[in-house]
Structure 1
């Protein structure tokens, strides 16, 4: 039995819905990157996207430096006020792709299999 329904994945991690008794539990999204897992509601995932955008804006000051993408670490806030992640710019871009890809895929599936069906 398949216990999850994958939503999106990239080199940074994966996101999926859990299944329970063949029913997809779509109220929360399990997101895993590196060795960290979060179980977010859709609203929390959107908040996380805002945290990523804010962190990107604050830390893009040395774009010209070749080492910045790998060596410089900074804190990325999460929707969990007690948890911040130390990430490089390269990791931040991968996490951003994971979050945005997940939200896009959820919205697309809702449209295709919901209101978009004739």
Structure 2
């Protein structure tokens, strides 16, 4: 992986063309309490609950900004602010970027829930 992170220092959860999500490892143990979410030049370190809040922000932004259905340029030209669970931080994104962030967050949450089920409550 680029930017100096060695693969054994992380446990990848999900990735797409915009970014990736992973758990950090420390002393060969996975730190399950927070997820590192990286896209574009931005990184967030969220608890699963904060990641779920971010999904809600994305869904709300998607509803508010998905109004240019007939415009061919809507996915790339228009930038708008995407709220985050960090009240001091909003991100300027295009609809194309919003779709990729939505996929990244939803894919990450799905994998977290699947892992929890398979190796947690689903192990009877």
Asked whether 1:31 is paired with 2:37, we answer yes
Count of aligned pairs: 118
TM-score computed with the length of structure 1 as normaliser: 0.97
SS for the counterpart of 1:62 is: coil
CA displacement at 1:117 relative to structure 2 = 2.1
Identify the match of residue 111 of structure 2 among 102, 105, 110: 105
* Structure 2 residue aligned with 1:83: 89
TM-score computed with the length of structure 2 as normaliser: 0.93
Q: For structure 1, which runs of at least 5 residues remain unmatched after alignment?
A: none
User: What is the alpha-carbon root mean square deviation over aligned residues?
Assistant: 0.9
Identify the match of residue 9 of structure 2 among 3, 9, 15: 3
Asked whether 1:22 is paired with 2:16, we answer no
SS for the counterpart of 2:98 is: helix
Q: Name segments (4+ residues, structure 1) moved above 4 Å.
A: none
Q: For structure 2, which runs of at least 5 residues remain unmatched after alignment?
A: 1-5
